[in-house]
A and B are shown apart, each in its own frame.
Chain A
């Protein structure tokens, strides 16, 4: 992984990695990928991926309102909110 791969990845992750640190970041990520590459030696033929330790399934519930509306409390801690809406820089001209 080189600096341009890091730039691509940082964009996907919505992070800014500046050029001065990109090579350092690439080096540390290459180190980690070296570590995790040991997985490739494991024989996993016929083994199903395990997403839950006890292979539990997602519980379902009735489709009915179970929570009160606390929108005002949640918007009170937003960086910028107005009239029940979260404000962000203009998206469409």
Chain B
């Protein structure tokens, strides 16, 4: 059953090949047996999952035709879940049990989906390796001595290890696409404003966006349909028509104009990864697309602008964790200042504190113009590069990451070298554009991801071209060793 896609599971549930309770129990058993090798879940909610499955079986018996009804999935532990611990990968929220559901969680519940549990992540989504989690590093199913990527490493690893058919995730600077690339799965970062951020613990509010990770584009389309909604509770949610993503999947690619920026193939890109990306672009050409060389002249400034804007917004967002209303509180505080300082210092890990300090500096008196304001101006230049490109091409293709998965412990010592690994992904967030990572081959047995970026609101186009590519290739059907 764990080999089946969401579409196949929905059919199996209707055919009575298995019930949702049987399917859910099967996944729970797999998690129990196998996840000690990957650490992809922080919390497994067996009782709630089985109760949801039982209710879904009743709905299906009564003719419910929602594709996700009775289908197991998992939520990144950044989405608030009513009555279920939501840690955000942090000691600060190790005791936090929210009294409400995120809008995204409500959307899945309404459709009758079954949540298996909460997936592991970098603390407060800050990291590219999943090693900053309070609950320990996640291991890459393709090679457990390597990282799964981050920050949605638990979601990507759980999908790659067939411990869930699909999972929710979030992307602030590449946190859906990069782990999808490193784990050989498909991950979509939607347009900023497409998926509600209500109940999704905030890291950098002008960049954060929820999206799905699944085994293929067809399943991502189903997940995305559930996640996309206009939400009056999220002031940054945009009221824009939602496409029927599944209906768009079969559109032929003839006439698709692909832009390939020279900046994505410069120094720092592993040459074997570059070959796989070039081969994938050639495949699209064979399928009827035309290829054009383009330029994104400000791309090298994306990482510097990102590492001002994201920490600045994080320092403001994380000021709410003060040991007073919820979350970790230190023992025996001497006074209020001691309460704040010790609760925060004990509750936050090293990388989170580092980003809070950088952000506090960038926003402090006398430095605001030089850092935050300057970064926001550069952000506009980066967006303008994309807008110029989209006058000539429909989508932009390149690598998602500079290499395949790194060895555990190889990157997390030096923050700057870790930050520079985000060179292909951060610009998309700064511009608020949608992007997808699609498996496009292997180097030394490790997956490589092709990144595709489209214009605003073109999630349907990204899923369409990914699906068409996946009809012609089988990279996404490969499974990691020891998971079958």
**Hey, which chain A residues are within 8 Å of B336, CB to CB?**
88-89, 91
| Residue interface bits B361-376, CB-to-A below 8 A is 1, else 0 | 1101000001101111
**Hey, which chain A residues are within 8 Å of B334, CB to CB?**
89
> Do B329 and A80 have beta carbons less than 8 Å apart?
yes
> Do A9 and B360 have beta carbons less than 8 Å apart?
yes
> Do A29 and B357 have beta carbons less than 8 Å apart?
yes
**Hey, which chain B residues are within 8 Å of A61, CB to CB?**
232
The distance in angstroms between the C-alpha atoms of A28 and B329, with both chains bound, is 27
> Do A89 and B356 have beta carbons less than 8 Å apart?
no
Contact A44:B419 (CB < 8 A) given known A35-B303, A52-B236, A53-B383:
no
> Do B379 and A28 have beta carbons less than 8 Å apart?
no
Number of chain A residues close to chain B: CB under 8 A:
50
**Which residues of A, 25-77, contact B by the 8 Å Cβ criterion?**
25, 28-29, 31-40, 42, 44, 47-54, 56, 58-59, 61, 70, 73-74, 76-77
**Hey, which chain A residues are within 8 Å of B323, CB to CB?**
79
Looking at B336, B344, B361, the one whose CB has the most chain A CB atoms below 10 A away is: B361
> Do A14 and B344 have beta carbons less than 8 Å apart?
yes
**Hey, which chain B residues are within 8 Å of A6, CB to CB?**
357
> Do B358 and A29 have beta carbons less than 8 Å apart?
yes
For the complex formed, measure the closest distance between the CB of A45 and the CB atoms of chain B, giving whole angstroms. 9
Residue of A nearest to B322 (CB): A14
**Hey, which chain B residues are within 8 Å of A56, CB to CB?**
193, 236, 238
The distance in angstroms between the C-alpha atoms of A90 and B362, with both chains bound, is 33
**Hey, which chain B residues are within 8 Å of A80, CB to CB?**
329
B414 within 8 Å of A (CB atoms): yes
| Residue interface bits B425-465, CB-to-A below 8 A is 1, else 0 | 00000111100000000000000000000001000000000
Q: Which of B2-10, B212-220, B259-267, B304-312 lies on the face that meets chain A?
A: B304-312
Which residues in A have some Cβ–Cβ distance to B below 8 Å? 1, 6, 9-10, 12-17, 25, 28-29, 31-40, 42, 44, 47-54, 56, 58-59, 61, 70, 73-74, 76-80, 86, 88-91
| A-B contact list, 7 entries, CB within 8 Å | A9-B364, A35-B304, A35-B307, A38-B304, A42-B298, A50-B383, A77-B96
Extra inter-chain contacts (7) besides given A25-B353, A38-B301, CB under 8 Å: A9-B357, A31-B414, A36-B304, A38-B304, A42-B301, A42-B381, A56-B193
